[in-house]
Amino acid sequence: MRNKTNQWQTILFFVIVAIIIYQIYYSNKQSNYRDSFKGETIALVTINEGPERHKVVRYYFYAGRKILGKIGNRSRNSNLYYEINKFYKVKYDLNKPEENEIFLEEELTPDSIALVEAGFIKTKYYFYDAGVTNQYIEKWKWK
């Protein structure tokens, strides 16, 4: 009886050690993978939707073509304050731009030249002011 208990304790010990080693390996691999992103540009956050626990942030940037990105409310991003229609830094893999990482820690305030170089264009749109003037108001936004 004592021999069987010893065997189970040994097996449990090795399983716990294996899980710890796997977690260390996986976190280092993921960290090294994100550090390998060489491309860097400006991203525009367009949608901030969902309830507080399941918030989804959608953004896009240009890397030869328009790339859409999406992140859920991860634990490391849960306390960050970010707004829609604001610009943030994004790093991406040069070979696969779909694999990217947005940095919501600090909002960027790029000038128009930097935005044009990043692939954005300024477009005109009209807003109907029904309550006050009953006219169309001309406005501009970056797309």
pLDDT digits (tens, 9 = 90+) for 82-131: 778 899 999 998 888 888 888 888 889 999 999 999 999 989 999 888 87
Q: Are 107 and 86 in contact (CB under 8 A)?
A: yes
Cα 69 to Cα 113: distance, rounded to the nearest angstrom: 23
Spacing of C-alpha 71 from chain mean position: 5
Residue 129 included in any domain? no
The verdict on 78 and 46 lying in the same domain is yes
Task: Kindly provide the b/e burial profile for residues 73-90, where b requires at least 16 CB atoms within 10 angstroms of the residue's own CB.
Answer: beeebeeeebeeebbbbb
pTM: 0.66
pLDDT tens, 43-53?
998 877 767 66
Residue 139 included in any domain? no
The verdict on 103 and 55 lying in the same domain is yes
In sequence order, the β-bridge partners of residue 103 are 89
Q: Domain range holding 67?
A: 37-118
The verdict on 46 and 59 lying in the same domain is yes
Residue 114 included in any domain? yes
Q: How many domains, the chain?
A: 2
What number of other Cβ atoms are within 10 A of residue 42's Cβ? 19
pLDDT tens, 57-78?
889 999 888 888 887 655 444 5
